[in-house]
Amino acid sequence: MHGWCGKILRVDLSRGRITREPLDPQVARSYIGGRGLGIYYLRREVDPAGDAFGPQNKIIMATGPLTGTAAPTGARYVVTTKSPLTGAITCSNSGGNFPAELKKSGHDAVIIEGGSARPVYLWIDGDHAELRPADHLWGRTTHQTDDALRSETHEKAKTAVIGPAGENRVLFAAIMNDRDRAAGRAGVGAVMGAKNLKAVVVRGQREVALADPAAFKAVNTKYREAFKAKTQDAPPALRTHGTAITVVGTQSHGVFPTRNFQQGTFEGWESIYGETLTQKYLVRPKPCFSCPIACGRVTRIPDGPYQGEGEGPEYETVYALGSDCGVDDLAALTKANYECNELGLDTISMGAAIACAMELYEKGFLKESDTGMPLRWGDGDALVRLTRMTARREGFGGLLAEGSLRLATRCGHPELAMVAKGLDFAGYDPRGEQGMGLAYATSPIGGSHMRGDPAYFELLGVPVPADPHTWEDKPPLVAKWQDLFCVIDAAGLCVFFSVRYLVEQDLMVKPVGITELLNAATGAGYSPEEVEKTGERIFNAERLYLQAAGFTRGDDSLPPRITREPMPVGPARGMVCKLEEMLGPYYALRGWTPEGRPSEAKLRQLGLL
């Protein structure tokens, strides 16, 4: 095989046994890789009704055929498992250098099953793989663990580790690779902790074999040159100011979530957005493997109570730990971001849980006797303290560790959790961005923007603009982009480059550039239409898993704040999300029944029967 390695590494933690098996070429073609392989194996091997923390749950770490190649942003892998936070599938995506290293070890995926009686880590050194004791690493931060593991194995090895949050089964614990890159959403790190697996350490020793190296080089050069031509007069904003520059767009459209989505504009936005971060704390931009953009931020807080150094914060962190909690102290939210990275926490769900708690406290549903401290909007000290407490489940942190929905439900007000399918929203208020509301509600993992991000066309005008306030045109656009993101995640690419350069410049996107790269790498001879169909197959397969786990049309929902309470201020003032109006047309376009179930004809068309 070319592009694909043709091998799956299977790790049985219960028996301490590691085996290799071939990747079926037809499965590879039909699901591409990454997110596609994740749902393929999850549907066949993990009971949708099972316990996410039980030994029968599995973790599938999968690369794509473009991961580890010179393709622009060929640096991604996907972690698929059943989520302990939501009970649904989660397929959490991350970049950095670990994914390329995993691919270069000669494996398309690692399937981790069972559970170890004691802490262990997995060491993959090319063709050699073994489980090693990790008792001495238990309790250490992600950075401390990374240092220790590279000392024990190889200085150039790459790691994916959990911190204390994963060990303590915080329901939104992350897996941190390359120290500060996160497979963050829906508790993948907690599943790893439940299995007593502290880390996966990899050293790759081979290059990815390409079907047509000359054609691959030509296609790769074409798209990299297009990027250079577009950015020759000035570096891209993502390199200069990172993803936190997005604050300008969300604030100006009135969809920058503030104080637990009570409004969509934040009076302190200029104190925490990308340019301020650049001016005050940026050390240098940092790219992932094979990335021409370099949106990552290496930052340093030089002095004061929040002194420290690390990576970030990115936009979603600025929203969740900043405006959503009413915090305009950039040093405090940056420090809380560092703590999340080192303790192994999803910054979105961490901030959302604190924001939810602050509103519960504001309304009198939580008392200081419950929390151990006042919970007031804008309290940066509380933000940092609560982050540390959550990772270790200390005091009130033990309640926060269960996530915003369980916390709000415990207080009798589940409507104050800003979630879809139990997963906290990203940093876009759907009242002023109708497509995002539909995307949140129908996302297979819950309230994630990265399962078909409408902010690109609704807020950023990429590839061309669409009015964020209209709902009638959004069902076909959202469905199209959801399928496209399945393709990007399966190929092993980053969306930042892909949606700008590797698709036709039209809202009804066609993955032309992605297809060219896939064909040169794999020799599969895909057409763009076949690649599109593969994205649709992946999305529908995820929908089938959701249904088998007990999710219904009623779970394609948003909180009443979003659908019934008009936005109180700002450019989106007076608006609500027209979700119900969009769902029927969306289901019909997808070939689903009015109850949101893929029809038999659709499943047959996609080869899912």
Tokens of 593: 């029944």
Candidate from 3-12, 224-233, 511-520 with smallest mean pLDDT: 224-233
Confirm whether 585 is domain-assigned.
Answer: yes
Instruction: Give percent of the chain with pLDDT exceeding 90.
Output: 97
In this structure, the answer to whether residues 377 and 513 fall within a common structural domain is no
In this structure, the answer to whether residues 411 and 434 fall within a common structural domain is no
| Count of helix runs (H) and strand runs (E) in the chain | 26, 17
Percent helix / strand / coil, the chain, rounded to 5 = 45, 15, 40
**Residue 566 DSSP label:** -
Is residue 494 left, alpha or beta, with left meaning phi > 0 and alpha meaning psi from -120 to 50? beta
Confirm whether 211 is domain-assigned.
Answer: no
In this structure, the answer to whether residues 400 and 257 fall within a common structural domain is yes
Tell me the pLDDT band of 119, cut-offs 50, 70 and 90: very high
Question: Residue 462: which CATH number?
Answer: 1.10.599.10
Tell me the pLDDT band of 233, cut-offs 50, 70 and 90: confident
| pLDDT score of 90 | 95
Confirm whether 229 is domain-assigned.
Answer: no
Q: Flag whether pLDDT at 507 surpasses 90.
A: no
418, 559 Cβ separation under 8 angstroms: yes
Domain limit, last residue, from 386, 417, 448: 417
In this structure, the answer to whether residues 356 and 505 fall within a common structural domain is no
Question: Residue 264: which CATH number?
Answer: 1.10.569.10
Structural domain count, the chain: 3
| pLDDT score of 371 | 97
Confirm whether 30 is domain-assigned.
Answer: yes
Confirm whether 470 is domain-assigned.
Answer: yes
In this structure, the answer to whether residues 313 and 198 fall within a common structural domain is no
In this structure, the answer to whether residues 451 and 373 fall within a common structural domain is no
In this structure, the answer to whether residues 56 and 174 fall within a common structural domain is yes
Tell me the pLDDT band of 2, cut-offs 50, 70 and 90: very high
Q: Flag whether pLDDT at 506 surpasses 90.
A: no
Enclosing domain of residue 457: 430-605
Give residues with Cβ within 8 angstroms of 331, minimum separation 6.
Answer: 281, 301, 304, 305, 306, 380
Q: Flag whether pLDDT at 494 surpasses 90.
A: yes
In this structure, the answer to whether residues 389 and 446 fall within a common structural domain is no
Confirm whether 424 is domain-assigned.
Answer: no
Taking Cα atoms as reference points, which of 45, 41, 147, 160 lies closest to residue 96?
160
| pLDDT score of 283 | 97
In this structure, the answer to whether residues 196 and 267 fall within a common structural domain is no
| pLDDT score of 50 | 97
Instruction: Give percent of the chain with pLDDT exceeding 70.
Output: 100
In this structure, the answer to whether residues 29 and 115 fall within a common structural domain is yes
As a whole number, mean pLDDT of residues 316-334 equals 98
Confirm whether 151 is domain-assigned.
Answer: yes
In angstroms, the CA 116 to CA 194 distance is 9
Q: Flag whether pLDDT at 508 surpasses 90.
A: no
Neighbours of 370 (CB within 10 A): 16
In this structure, the answer to whether residues 596 and 505 fall within a common structural domain is yes
More confidently predicted of 235 and 250: 250
Taking the C-alpha atoms of 139, 143, 145 and 151 in order, what is their torsion angle to the nearest 10 degrees?
-150
Domain limit, last residue, from 181, 203, 225: 203
Taking Cα atoms as reference points, which of 91, 81, 83, 6 lies closest to residue 46?
81
Q: Flag whether pLDDT at 30 surpasses 90.
A: yes
Q: Flag whether pLDDT at 205 surpasses 90.
A: no
Domain limit, last residue, from 184, 203, 222: 203
User: What sign has the CA pseudo-torsion 441, 443, 449, 452?
Assistant: negative
Tell me the pLDDT band of 379, cut-offs 50, 70 and 90: very high
Q: Flag whether pLDDT at 505 surpasses 90.
A: no
In this structure, the answer to whether residues 101 and 166 fall within a common structural domain is yes
Q: Flag whether pLDDT at 509 surpasses 90.
A: no
Confirm whether 1 is domain-assigned.
Answer: no
